[in-house]
Amino acid sequence: MQNAMTDPHHATFRNLLTLIREAEPRVDIDLVTLAYETAQQAHAGQKRISGEDYIIHPLGVATYLADLHYTDTTTIIAGLLHDVIEDTSYTIDALRKDFGDEIADIVMGVTVLEKLKYRGVERYLENLRKMFVAMAKDLRVIFIKFADRIDNLKTLHVWPHEKQLRIAQETAEIYAPIANRLGMGKIRGELEDLAFPYIDPDAYTWTKNLLLSIAPKREKYLDDVKDIIKKALAKEKIKPVDIHGRAKHLFSLYRKLLRYDRDISRIYDIITMRIIVNNLADCYATMGIIHQRWRPLKGRIKDYIANPKPNGYQSLHTTVFCEKGEILEFQIRTKKMHEEAEFGVAAHWRYKERSEQEGGSTTAKLDLEWIRELTRWHKRIHDKEEQLQKMKLDVFQNRIFVFTPKGEIIDLPEDATPIDFAYHIHTEVGNHCSSAIVNDHLVPLDTKLRSGDIVEIVTDKKRKGPSPDWLQFVKTTTARSKIKSQVKVNIVDWLKNIVPTTKK
């Protein structure tokens, strides 16, 4: 283990500690330090393809998480350790022993996600959804996954073209929509804008130059408008929390440009004015003040407070003929709405506060909220699939989601066993199942599987068929009927063999 004097990354780690302390003054610094040293030791000698020490990556992920301010120390520690199980000889058992179940479970969740492979959007989305539901035990897994992806995107330039494209597409098509669904606008924007140059370099350059061509003079203009607004609000005794200009994220601007035949003059929210106020009443009052001063464009007043977007986004939008006749969009919201627009579910995720107030058992409650959210989302994206649309929350509650060693998700009823799993894979796998390995441990065949388990079935070709004993513990009707029919066949075989012998 390296000490502060010899560790070249110690400054980065100290910066991380500072961020953590800001967010959570009573943090267990020793545990964070232990996590860093453990990760450092586990990844010792490993390099990223860029040639940097590998530890830079978990440090980057943890720093990003700490920067979010909505994540707790547990998440940050799990972020530091997120690649140790996948990439080093440090085991899950050691992790459990050294850092406890909570952190171990989160890291395991991230590791399982790591195993999923991108094979077409539809399939992957479906897999991801199932997995997310299974991982709903802890949303922090997803936060780490987002941070991991963002850190990887930042160093994507060193990878071969094919991999760049795959990662970038996967980011834009899967990660970003999920971040969007979770209302995490900031992360969604970052994911997309980091992926954009790899997906379409020309479009990226074009959009970036377009924005650069209008941004500087717009900046000066916004400063002037800001002064006018401030005075007008002060007259009505409204004290804004913040007023700032904001440029649209590049990828979302590009998408919008495509919808408008690349006609930039028809897009009014490229650079907007954002007004953050203290309460709901001030939101509407502020919009009134703006409308008194500048005439609003018809059909451009949007009340996402009364009618939030499906992902929960709340804000008032209005576009007006502003100073010097220029068209400008205003977005007005409370501080809470703003935080929720930027961080989405993460903004609700103040573990430390909640667990203090409610005595620690937060996960179950948050769980439900999260599953409900995903269920709603899933229903929407699969509008056509009527059957799925009727799917109720309780469908998930009686199901478990386990994984093949290749990361395929198998959906089974609660208390299902490796035998159920084996028959789900293939009748022959079930019939010749000789033993089962769950999370790298050999287990009895009647073991009850749990969501997130990675299950491997060992088959024996010489095995005659299923054991009738299995009928006592299997949970799926498939397994039951297949065992029954096989057992019958076997008895017939057995009789056939017996009968000639006795005749002899």
Element (DSSP H or E) covering residue 143? helix 140-154
Q: Count CA within 13 A, CB hemisphere, residue 479.
A: 28
* Identity of the residue, 143 or 294, whose beta carbon is nearer to Mn ion in the bound complex: 143
Pairing of strands 271-277, 242-247: antiparallel
Set 86, 224, 323, 440: catalytic member: 86
| Residues pairing with 276 in the sheet | 242, 333
Strand order, beta sheet including 441-443:
441-443, 433-438, 455-459
* Identity of the residue, 84 or 316, whose beta carbon is nearer to Mn ion in the bound complex: 84
Residue 355 DSSP code:
H
Span near Mn ion by CB under 5 A; candidates 90-98, 123-131, 144-152, 184-192: 144-152
What are the E-state strand segments in 385-459? 399-403, 409-413, 433-438, 441-443, 455-459
Span near Mn ion by CB under 5 A; candidates 143-151, 211-219, 293-301, 425-433: 143-151
Residue nearest to Mn ion (CB): 148
| # chain residues binding Mn ion, by CB under 5 A | 2
Q: Which residues contact 391 (CB under 8 A, 6 or more apart)?
A: 375, 378, 379
The reply to whether 86 belongs to the active site is yes
Which residues inside 99-138 make contact with Mn ion, applying CB under 5 A?
Answer: none
* Identity of the residue, 64 or 99, whose beta carbon is nearer to Mn ion in the bound complex: 64
Set 7, 24, 28, 87: catalytic member: 87
Rounded least distance, CB 50 to Mn ion, Å: 14
| Residues pairing with 247 in the sheet | 271
Give the per-residue contact string, 303-342, with Mn ion (x = CB under 5 A; - = no).
----------------------------------------
Q: Report yes or no: 417 and 478 within 8 Å, Cβ to Cβ.
A: no
Q: Identify which of 312, 293, 299, 247 has the alpha carbon closest to the alpha carbon of residue 273.
A: 247
Residue 405 DSSP code:
T
The tokens for 470 are 């299995």
Question: Which residue is it, tokens 């065949």?
Answer: 445
Rounded least distance, CB 178 to Mn ion, Å: 17
Span near Mn ion by CB under 5 A; candidates 77-85, 265-273, 341-349, 376-384: 77-85
Q: Report yes or no: 374 and 129 within 8 Å, Cβ to Cβ.
A: yes
* Identity of the residue, 83 or 420, whose beta carbon is nearer to Mn ion in the bound complex: 83
* Identity of the residue, 148 or 339, whose beta carbon is nearer to Mn ion in the bound complex: 148
Question: Which residue is it, tokens 């390099």?
Answer: 47
Q: Report yes or no: 379 and 391 within 8 Å, Cβ to Cβ.
A: yes
* Identity of the residue, 83 or 340, whose beta carbon is nearer to Mn ion in the bound complex: 83
The reply to whether 87 belongs to the active site is yes
| Residue 53 sits in the site that holds Mn ion (CB under 5 A) | no
* Identity of the residue, 82 or 432, whose beta carbon is nearer to Mn ion in the bound complex: 82
Rounded least distance, CB 59 to Mn ion, Å: 11
**72, 83, 105, 453: residue in contact with Mn ion (rule CB under 5 A):** 83
Rounded least distance, CB 200 to Mn ion, Å: 26
Which residues inside 145-164 make contact with Mn ion, applying CB under 5 A?
Answer: 148
Span near Mn ion by CB under 5 A; candidates 81-89, 97-105, 197-205, 441-449: 81-89
The pair phi, psi for residue 433, each rounded to 5°, is -65, 125
Rounded least distance, CB 190 to Mn ion, Å: 16
Q: Report yes or no: 305 and 279 within 8 Å, Cβ to Cβ.
A: no
Rounded least distance, CB 82 to Mn ion, Å: 6
Rounded least distance, CB 419 to Mn ion, Å: 35
d(CA 419, CA 421): 5
Residues that bind Mn ion (CB under 5 A): 83, 148
Query: Which residues form the catalytic set?
Result: 86-87
